[in-house]
Structure 1
Amino acid sequence: MREIVSPFAEQILQNLLYQGNRNDCAPFTAATLIHAFTHQRVNPLELAQEMNKPVWRGHVPVIRRIPNWATFPWGIVDVLRQYGLASRWRFFIQINQLIEHLSRPILYLPILLSWYPLWAHVMTLVAYRPGWGFGFANTQFERTELDWLEEGRFLKLWNASFRCTVIVTP
Structure 2
Amino acid sequence: MKRLFDFTASLVGLVCLGWLIGLLAILVKRDSDGPGIYAQPRVGRDGAVFTCYKLRTMHRTTVSAASHETPASAVTALGRRLRALKLDELPQLWNVLKGEMSFVGPRPCLPSQTVLIEERGRRGVLAVRPGITGEAQVQGVDMSDPVRLAEIDAHYVKNRSFLGDLTLILQTVAGGGRGDRVRG
Say which structure is richer in helix: 2
Both structures adopt the same fold (TM-score exceeding 0.5): no
Greater RCO between the two (CA within 8 Å, min separation 6)? 1
Say which structure is richer in strand: 1
